[in-house]
A and B are shown apart, each in its own frame.
Chain A
Amino acid sequence: MKLTKLLTSAALVAGLATSAMADKTKVGFVYVGPIGDGGWTHEHDKGRLAVEAEYGDKVETVYVESVPEGPDAERVMTDMALKGADIIFTTSFGYMDPTINVAKKFPKVKFEHATGYKQAANVSVYSARFYEGRAVQGHIAGQMTKSNTIGYIGSYPIPEVIRGINSAYIHAKEVNPDVQFKIVWAYTWFDPAKEADAAKVLIEQGADVILQHTDSTAPQAAAQAAGNVITFGQASDMSEYAPMPRVSSIIDDWAPYYIARVGAVMDGTWESVNTWDGIGAGMVGIGEISDAVPAEIKASALALKDKLADGSYHAFTGPVNKQDGSAWLADGETADDGTLAGMNFYVEGIDGDVPQ
């Protein structure tokens, strides 16, 4: 009697376990850097952990880190799809074409590509309006700089990065007409030694504010060593460098989006969408503004953040001219998403050329 009962319950448990295994939604993530980069990839991985926390046993997540942007990315995605992933998040701009290529071969697998612009029936694109955060950064940076020189470490000259430069510049110029941007392209998303070198060079050339669009905390360390230089956390809060040099940050919060999209796969309502959310939707967060920033600047920065959040102000509001002096936005006109998504020009006042 006891034995039969034991066997039955064992069989029941085993049955439950197998059915649970079959029901598990498998979620793949492809990362461009290591999950410990303290920036971009770190935040995506927090999103992945949030998905696990939300759905528990119903999901299984896998990830591959430090995947180069190129043919190797295709291999990694194909491998994930072959191993039964139901949805794959590819989290860097350079994965755009590989994602489209692999998606063609696996029409039943859902793909989600971050920061790109190529959509397909089973490929969604999603990004955050980081430029809204850049507007707040520019607003603070323009008032904090004493040398009127702001250094900007770019990764690759792609629309996402150029938008950030333009947005930061417009809002720095608004509060400080004498401000000047020095831009250095590192041609990498993640190389702490090179990012540190770039920051040091900018500081040596007189910059006392460093904005970065690369993923590691190395520029923060370089600024700290130099002394009177301020920085902003990029992608992640980087609060270990607060209150100086890091005076605020842009935080990417992917967790709600990832939870929603994995949920959509589970209940069969997933369809290809183009998501581009900003401060208002919570995808872009502004990290705490530290006490190194005077109270009145902090207050006006927070007011700007609120206006961006409720939609009463757009970060690209005319009059704005292109770098060559030709008109882009008329007085009061705001930029449309199409132009922003493909932005490949500087606004008037920035020195240097966009590498083509």
Chain B
Amino acid sequence: MDLSAINPVLLIASLMVAATPLLLAAVGELVVERAGVLNLGVEGMMIVGAIGGFAVSVESGSPYLGLVAAMAAGAGLSLLFAFLTQFALANQVASGLALTLFGLGLSALMGQGYVGIKPPALGNIHIPVLSDLPVIGPILFGHDPVLYIGIALVAAVWAVLKYSRIGLVLRAVGENHEAAHALGYNVIRVRVLAIMFGGACAGLGGAYISLIRVPQWTEGMTAGIGWIALALVVFASWKPWRVLLGAYLFGGINVLQLNLQAAGIAIPVEYLAMSPYIITILVLVIMSADKSRAPASLGRIFHASQ
């Protein structure tokens, strides 16, 4: 066992990268669920975002255009879900599952010509002086821009939900859609916009995997991160900062356990491999012992006639 082989600075820097796709998808889903909609299609939207962003950035040569395309792809797919659940009044669980299956199939089809191609690189930002600082530089100032967008998004979602009028309306729709409707708010419009926001976030998270974290296109490459994002929202009690904490815990322990394995620590590998799941759930469950609960209208179908 040689713990000195683990470089804590690189560890923290890489855990932030590992956590970002999960963070993006989860914060998007959080907004959707706070509006009272349960969209189980996160995995499908992520993978379509992954290939959509990959394809556009390869064709255009611009990674930024790819990221925008990924958001558009995720939001576009989520519109299908919005149509099914908000206008056709279909069951949300079934529609969400169908969206995931559809997304996985569609992405495999779209990705046929993109296996083995390298995408244009999205460089890390480099701020003179700051990025060169020891320890703090690589951790705080040496990442790709999307990682900062992820953190900023959490702060923005938190502030909007807590302090703004839009956030209040969104929460009202999620807690009691009949009351919100009676007050004159357009429940369907709020929900469709929330679903699209969630889709865009999931798409961006997917593209983060295919353009930055891996970076390449392989079928099925999101490999269940969308599902983990769904679970994370629940365990984080629908609170943005807890989603951030959970995502960093999960990503962090995942990277840490790989580091410990490589350093040859004497903990059985099985325990290390399951540790990210267990520790994340434990911490968030303990934190959710306060009065937090699910949005009251979560998963319920709304029609103005009712």
Interface residues of A (CB under 8 A from B): 33-38, 66, 151, 157, 182-185, 187-188, 190-194, 196-198, 200-202, 204-207, 216-218, 221-222, 224-225, 240, 351-353, 355-356
Contacts and interface: CB of A to CB of B under 8 A. Distances in A.
A185 B222 CA distance: 19
A37 B218 contact: yes
- Shortest 10 CB-CB contacts between residues of A and residues of B: A34-B219, A240-B116, A36-B219, A191-B223, A355-B269, A201-B258, A192-B221, A182-B262, A205-B5, A34-B220
Contacts of B213: 193, 196
A193 B221 contact: yes
Given A38-B116, A184-B258, A204 B10 contact: yes
Given A351-B264, A355-B268, A216 B221 contact: yes
B214 A193 contact: yes
B7 interface: yes
A272 to B, nearest CB: 33
B263 interface: yes
28 contacts: A36-B218, A36-B219, A37-B218, A38-B116, A38-B218, A185-B261, A190-B220, A190-B223, A192-B209, A193-B213, A193-B223, A196-B214, A198-B258, A201-B14, A204-B259, A205-B7, A205-B259, A205-B263, A206-B5, A217-B216, A218-B216, A221-B118, A221-B216, A225-B215, A352-B264, A353-B266, A353-B268, A355-B270
Interface string B250-270: 000011001101111010111
Given A193-B214, A201-B255, A240-B116, A182 B220 contact: no
A151 B108 contact: no
Contacts, number: 111
Nearest to B210: A192
Interface in B249-306: 254-255, 258-259, 261-264, 266, 268-270, 273
A92 to B, nearest CB: 15
Contacts of B254: 194, 197
B214 A218 contact: yes
A204 B261 contact: no
Report the interface size class on chain B.
Answer: 35 or more
B111 interface: yes
Contacts of B270: 355
A98 B159 CA distance: 51
A37 B224 CA distance: 16
A194 B220 CA distance: 13
Contacts of A240: 116-117
Given A184-B258, A193-B209, A200-B14, A205 B6 contact: yes
A204 B225 CA distance: 24
A206 B262 CA distance: 10
Nearest to B21: A193
Contact of A205 (B118, B262, B266): B262
Contact of A188 (B118, B223, B261, B263): B223
Nearest to B111: A36
A66 B214 contact: no
B115 interface: yes
A62 B268 CA distance: 40
B254 to A, nearest CB: 7
Given A182-B264, A187-B273, A205-B263, A35 B5 contact: no
B18 interface: yes
A202 B177 CA distance: 51
Nearest to B215: A221
B132 to A, nearest CB: 19
A347 B41 CA distance: 46
A186 to B, nearest CB: 8
Contacts of B111: 36
A197 B218 contact: no
Contacts of B116: 38, 217, 240
A355 B5 CA distance: 21
Contacts of A185: 261, 269, 273
A157 B272 CA distance: 14
A222 B258 CA distance: 15
B284 to A, nearest CB: 21
Contacts of A34: 108, 218-220
B264 A35 contact: no
B49 to A, nearest CB: 14
B265 to A, nearest CB: 9
Given A184-B258, A190-B223, A192-B221, 11 more contacts: A34-B108, A36-B111, A185-B261, A192-B209, A197-B255, A201-B258, A201-B262, A205-B6, A205-B262, A216-B218, A351-B264
A103 B254 CA distance: 38
A38 B117 CA distance: 12
Given A36-B219, A151-B262, A352-B264, A192 B214 contact: yes
Interface string B183-224: 000000000000000000000000001000111101111111
Interface in B216-248: 216, 218-225
Given A184-B258, A193-B213, A201-B259, A37 B10 contact: no
